[in-house]
Structure 1
Amino acid sequence: MAPILEIKNLYKNYGPVEILKDINIAIEPGDFLVLVGPSGCGKSTLLNCIAGLEPITGGDLMIGGKNMTDVSPKDRDIAMVFQSYALYPTMSVAKNITFGMKVRGVDQATQTRKLNEVASQLQIEQLLNRRPGQLSGGQRQRVAMGRALVRDPKLFLFDEPLSNLDAKLRVEMRSEIKKLHQTLGATMVYVTHDQIEAMTLATKIVVLKGGVIQQIGSPAEIYNKPANLFVADFMGSPAMNLIPAKARAGGAGAQIEIARGIGEPLVLVDKHAPALPEDVILGLRPEDIAEAGFRAGADVQDATCLVDMVEPAGADTYVVSELGGKQVTARLHAETVATPGEMLNLSIDMSKVSYFAPDSGQRLN
């Protein structure tokens, strides 16, 4: 199957400043690609390059197998949903949704049919005669999506569409967008700085930092096997614990030694560790540290830690200890009994450990 969007060696400069550097991405029809990264990493610029709102400095950009580098936005067969909704304030919802079709000379019967289809899909039938000023943020967002949906384009582009909504509404709209993607089988490119949004929506995630792609992969790959320290720290909430450690080749695998706040260092044995340098950073997700005895398995090892802080969070209890001079968070059961200043027996799932080189930050396993 030919990629519906293919970006090859794309560069974007503003004068002497490089904003995007050597971007290579390909997505198949039906993919949901999420561009994620901190503010200023270039993700909205990349979306604008795909839309044709920004010219590219170098490289190629193909949509549906055709080179779009010099094609104007209106001829790219895309529909875009902006953060600001960009609705016409003086027009009714119905007119906002059908306006693009009217401009393109689509006949009235088709306009009406598409309007009704989209209105029922987004559950906004009762809003069609209102104006944008009479709508809530969530309703405006639905109208902006409706305007994109009637286009039936090759590619939907979303630029942080939920960032103006409150937390509860964001979660609801996220589900709506996911459902839309599943029912339409449409191809979507979506920009967000919210890594939870990225994890829940995407079939494929691109993590950007400073205009450079750090990693491309499925949500599971990005979460379980981050390519470097930046991705490990950025994706996941709470973030992955990144603990300085010493590695020594042992009889079977490696011995990993981690300084503890008090007493002897913690020594863990990893039978499956690759050849490691002496200084490593051990990455461990909070949920891979459990109460001792809670998780069975050949790769589970016990660790006794001094509790610094306990944070009840409804379904979970977060327990913070010091390991390797860093604050390390364990995600434990709500019923966990832990007291600051006391020791707690924990177990670590060594099959889930990531190793990183301290100097380059690159993944080692």
Structure 2
Amino acid sequence: MSNAMKKEMATPQTAKNILAIENLDKSFGSVKILKDINVAIEPGDFLVLVGPSGCGKSTLLNCIAGLESSTNGDIRIGGRSMTGVSPKDRDIAMVFQSYALYPTMTVGKNITFGMKVRGVAEQEQQRKLDEVAKLLQIDHLLNRKPSQLSGGQRQRVAMGRALVRDPQLFLFDEPLSNLDAKLRVEMRTEIKRLHQTLGASIVYVTHDQIEAMTLATKIVVMKDGVIQQAGTPNEIYNQPANMFVADFMGSPSMNLIPASAEKQGDATKISITRPDMEDIVLDFDREIEGLKSGKKSVILGLRPENITDSTNQHITKGQIADCRVDVVEPAGSDTFVVTNLAGKQVTARLNADATIIAGETASFAFDLSKASVFEPETGARIA
């Protein structure tokens, strides 16, 4: 992880931060769930917490909401410490995975119920209801009960209930995980549109890295209660801090290929061994940390789109190699091809009309301009 990235993660609370989490720990008994969490976002940011099940992302969201108390550290919302502040006084609104709608109330009453409890005037309740219902395109559903709605419509109602509060911070806890694949894509677009329209500050939890990449202005990747990397979607995708992030983010995930790197004068060569075929030797145009002279074992990280047809005009002749094709997977707009390099299954992303046949040998172009290089023992990025 770069020093700049570490500095950003540890940024202290400033006047421009809507949310700042500083040195946060959370334990349940002797089990430490969150370990020294440092994150800060500015007003209008869309922060996505992403990671596998059990990584601590939902626990972190619950700590921000005040549903869980932290063991150590501090959370500030709008510059105010949340230590000892109850959830209702944090100026937040939360959208849950389960929608949590009142089954006996109409859509309109579900949305306005919180305002009614807080004593908001009926005229203001109606104004906000009309505004939000139009924004979410559910104004024709206001007299229905939740049981009469589809999953996507229920999720819109849950979002509407949060939006009428106009809080400093919105919290989303895996809101799309109960929807089918097509509806998830549609609702993802709606949430993106809402963020762009309202400029709202959002913290969003998901295990789906596609959601993370498409929605976020900033992503925090977590594993075992530890932040692995924080950055923009572009930084996370193209400059993963370690092999975990490289493997977790991206679909298909980054190819992680055992290789060796060697200095040859001013040039750096990366060699990949193959069973029953000669090594692939590729030119690498960046410095590799720890490589002075001789050979160094490395893990070469290549996205599928960086292994392409040999007709690619941007690849020099020295970056082309013949490989045996094991599997061909047509995917509409692309064709994915699986080959074997250094004992690993490696996926290449080719044009949809690529004429590739399983069991035969084909020429592949290797684009190392966006390649990553990792230390095999620690998994850390070294180039």
Structure 1 residue aligned with 2:52 = 38
State whether structure 2 residue 337 is matched by structure 1 residue 319. yes
For 1:146, which of 145, 157, 160 is the aligned residue?
160
C-alpha deviation, 1:298, in angstroms: 5.5
**TM-score, normalized by length of structure 1?**
0.98
Task: Map 1:138-287 to 2 at 5 A.
Answer: 138-277=152-291, 278-287=296-305
Q: What do residues 47-83 of structure 1 show as CA deviations (whole Å, max 9, x unaligned)? A: 0000000011000000000000210000000000000
C-alpha deviation, 1:297, in angstroms: 4.9
Q: RMSD between aligned alpha carbons?
A: 1.1
C-alpha deviation, 1:261, in angstroms: 2.9
List alignment gaps of at least 5 residues for structure 2: 1-14
Q: What do residues 86-108 of structure 1 show as CA deviations (whole Å, max 9, x unaligned)? A: 01111111111001101111001
State whether structure 2 residue 69 is matched by structure 1 residue 55. yes
List alignment gaps of at least 5 residues for structure 1: none
For 2:307, which of 267, 271, 289 is the aligned residue?
289
Matched residues in 1 for 2:174 and 2:119: separation?
Answer: 30
Matched residues in 1 for 2:284 and 2:26: separation?
Answer: 44
Matched residues in 1 for 2:70 and 2:298: separation?
Answer: 40
Structure 2 residue aligned with 1:13 = 27
Matched residues in 1 for 2:115 and 2:342: separation?
Answer: 61
C-alpha deviation, 1:341, in angstroms: 1.9
Task: Map 1:39-118 to 2 at 5 A.
Answer: 39-118=53-132
C-alpha deviation, 1:262, in angstroms: 2.3
C-alpha deviation, 1:11, in angstroms: 0.3
Structure 1 residue aligned with 2:325 = 307
Matched residues in 1 for 2:37 and 2:246: separation?
Answer: 21
Q: Confirm or deny: 8 A CA contact 1:300 1:350 kept in the other structure.
A: no
Matched residues in 2 for 1:293 and 1:138: separation?
Answer: 44
Matched residues in 2 for 1:295 and 1:21: separation?
Answer: 47
Q: Confirm or deny: 8 A CA contact 2:315 2:366 kept in the other structure.
A: no
1:359 maps to a residue whose letter is E
Structure 1 residue aligned with 2:377 = 359
C-alpha deviation, 1:293, in angstroms: 2.6
Moved more, 183-192 or 129-138: 129-138
Matched residues in 2 for 1:89 and 1:358: separation?
Answer: 54
Matched residues in 2 for 1:346 and 1:163: separation?
Answer: 37
Q: Confirm or deny: 8 A CA contact 2:171 2:203 kept in the other structure.
A: yes
Matched residues in 1 for 2:243 and 2:202: separation?
Answer: 28
How many pairs were matched up?
A: 365
Matched residues in 1 for 2:52 and 2:31: separation?
Answer: 18
Matched residues in 1 for 2:352 and 2:165: separation?
Answer: 48
C-alpha deviation, 1:254, in angstroms: 1.3
State whether structure 2 residue 143 is matched by structure 1 residue 129. yes
C-alpha deviation, 1:295, in angstroms: 3.1
Q: What do residues 298-337 of structure 1 show as CA deviations (whole Å, max 9, x unaligned)? A: 6971121111111111111011111111000000001111
2:59 maps to a residue whose letter is T
Q: Confirm or deny: 8 A CA contact 1:356 1:362 kept in the other structure.
A: yes
State whether structure 2 residue 331 is matched by structure 1 residue 331. no
Matched residues in 2 for 1:132 and 1:79: separation?
Answer: 20
Q: Confirm or deny: 8 A CA contact 1:252 1:271 kept in the other structure.
A: no
Q: Confirm or deny: 8 A CA contact 1:300 1:347 kept in the other structure.
A: no
Moved more, 206-215 or 254-263: 254-263
Overall identity of the aligned pairs, in %: 68
Structure 1 residue aligned with 2:7 = none
Q: What do residues 276-307 of structure 1 show as CA deviations (whole Å, max 9, x unaligned)? A: 55110000000011111313256971121111
Structure 2 residue aligned with 1:345 = 363
Q: SS at 2:55's partner residue?
A: coil
Q: Confirm or deny: 8 A CA contact 1:281 1:357 kept in the other structure.
A: yes
Q: Confirm or deny: 8 A CA contact 2:26 2:72 kept in the other structure.
A: yes
Matched residues in 2 for 1:107 and 1:2: separation?
Answer: 32
C-alpha deviation, 1:204, in angstroms: 0.2
C-alpha deviation, 1:252, in angstroms: 2.7
